Amino acid sequence: MTDNVDLIPAPARCSRNTAGRTSLGSGTALEARPGTEGVARWLRATVGAATGLPFPEAGEGADRLVLSIEPDLPPEGYRLVSDGGPYRIQGGGAAGVFWGAQTFRQLLGPDAFRRAPVRPGREWDLPRVTVEDSPRFRWRGLMLDVARHFMPKEGVLRYLDLMAAHKLNVFHFHLTDDQGWRIEIRRHPRLTEVASWRARTKFGHRASPLWEEKPHGGYYTQDDIREIVAYAAERHITVVPEIDVPGHSQAAVAAYPELGNTDVTDTTALTVWDTWGISADVLAPTDTTLRFYEGVFEEVLELFPADAAEFSAFIHIGGDECRKEQWSESVAAKTRIAELGLADEDELQSWFIGHFDKWLTARGRRLIGWDEILEGGLAPGAAVSSWRGYGGGVAAARAGHDVVMCPEQYVYLDHRQAPGEDEPVPIGFVRTLEDVYRFEPVPSQLSEAEARHVLGTQANVWTEVMEDAARVDYQTFPRLAAFAEVAWSSLPAPQERDFADFERRMAAHYGRLDALGVAYRPPSGPRPWQRRPGVLGRPLEGPPPNR
C-alpha cells in the first residue's frame, strides 16, 4: 500500500508512479470504449454529481479518463493508472471496469461520495498511482431481511449503492417470513392485501414486554422489483430472491388458510405474526400447497430472470427452522408420509424441498437454501448457505455442492458489536469490527478440491430489532467494510491480518460513510440517539464454535 492511499477493500497491488498528485477539472473528458458505456453513465451520474465535473465525451490529449476492457485481466479484475494522463481504468470485463471506477471514486476523497458539490469550482486531484486488483471470491454478498421490518424501495436502492461502494456483488433479498410478505404475486393478491402487514410489533427481543402498537408493513410491486433488479444490474450486483418454505410461512397461511395444517389448527384464526422467534404454523405438505407455491415461483422467475450474470439462476427457498409439531399431529401429513414411503417428518421436509429443487432445475434455475436442506439429499446443482457454523458448508462441499459461507457466529450483523450496556438491543454473540475482519470463509477442514465449491461468502442482516434504516445502518456499518475486505482481498490467515492497518484506512473510510449519510456505529461507541435504553435483547456468552 502506498502512503495516503487508504483504499477499502485493500487492493492486491498499489504502487506510486511519481511523487505528488495530478488534477482533474471541468475539461477532463471521459472516453468509454466498447463495453464500458454503462460504467461511463454511472461515473457521470454519481461522481459527476458529487464533483460537478461534466466529464464531456473524449477529446484528444492527456486530460481525459479512458475506460476500456482488456482481455489480459480477470473478468472482475481491474487496473487503474493515474500518472498525469490520460487516466486509465481497465477491466477484464465491464464489472472489472466498474470496480475500478469505485477505486477511482475513493481516490478522489470523501466529498466524491456526496450527491452535489460542497465547494463548486474546486479542482479534484488524484495520487499518481497504479492499482491492480481482482477479487478473491466470486460471491461477495449481503443478505437483507425486509420481512421482519420492511425497508421501502428507496432504502433498498441505497443499500445497493452501499454494496457497490464496497465491491459486493450479490444481494440476497429475504422477502418472506412469518412477520410479513413483501413481494406482489398477482395470482395471489391476498399475499399483499393481508400478509404484507401486521397490527403491531414486538419492540426488542421476544422476551421484551414492549410493543409498538401501530400497524407495520409494506411490499414491493412487481415494477418495484424490476426496478431494483435493473438498478442492481447497472452496478454489477445480482439479486437472489428468497421465498421461505415450508417454515417461516405464517404470514402466507394467514392470507390463505388452506396452505396450513387445517386438520390440527384453526388456520382461519391466524394473523401475520407480531413477535419474533420460529412460528409453529408451517405449510401443509399437500398438493394444494405445492401448486400454490409453483404459481408464486413462476412469477418470481419472471421478475428475477436468469441472464449472463453468474449467479442470476439462483432462487433461495429458505428451508430452515421448520418446526414439525403440526405435522406430527396431522393425519394429512402422516398420510403423505405413508404414501411417499418416508420414515418421518424430517424426511417429509426433505421431500418438500426436493420437489422445488426438481421444479426449479427443470426450468433451468438453481436452488439455494439454508444448510438444513442438506438433510435428505439434494439435486446436483443445488447450493447451500451455511449459517449454523462451518459444519453445513463442510458437508455440502464434500458432497459436491456449491457453498456460500455465512456462519452466524461470525457474520450475522444483527449480533451486538460490543459488550457494553449502551449497545442497543443486544443480540447474540459479541462480534467486534476486528472479529469480522478476522473471519475466514473457507473451512480449514476442506481439501483444495473441496474448497473450490466455496463460491464465496455473505454477511446477513436480520431486522427483528432494527425498526428503521438508521438501526440497519448502525448494525451493518462499519462491520460491512471489514467483511467486504474479507470477501474481496487476498488476506493472510486470520491471526496474521494487519488489523491496525485496516483501522488506519478506516479512519479515512469513515469520512466516505459520513458523506454517504450512513448512521454507522462510531469506534468510541453508540451516540446517545443510537441507544435503546430499557429495551431487552438476548445476549449470549462465550466464544463461537471453532472452525
Question: Which of 321, 325, 503, 514 is flagged as catalytic?
Answer: 321
177 among known catalytic residues: yes
Minimal CA–CA distance to 90: which of 144, 140, 141, 130?
130
Return the SS3 of 163.
helix
Cell readout for 160 is: 445497493
Cell readout for 399 is: 458432497
509: part of which helix (H) or strand (E)?
helix 499-516
Question: Which of 145, 177, 184, 244 is flagged as catalytic?
Answer: 177
Minimal CA–CA distance to 479: which of 414, 429, 544, 542?
414
Cell readout for 466 is: 432494527
Per DSSP, 544 falls in state: P
Q: What is the DSSP string of 377-445?
A: ---TT-EEEE-SSSHHHHHHHHTT-EEEE--HHHHBTTS-SSSSTTSSS-EES---HHHHHT---S-TT
Question: Which of 248, 316, 401, 453 is flagged as catalytic?
Answer: 248
375 among known catalytic residues: no
Cell readout for 470 is: 438508521
C-beta neighbour count of 340 within 10 angstroms? 12
544-to-252, 333, 431, 443 alpha-carbon distances in Å:
34, 37, 10, 14
Instruction: Find how far residue 407's CA is from the centre of its chain.
Output: 14
Per DSSP, 47 falls in state: I
The owner of cell 505528488 is 20
CA dihedral 228, 234, 236, 239 (to 10 degrees): 10
Residues marked as catalytic: 177, 248, 321
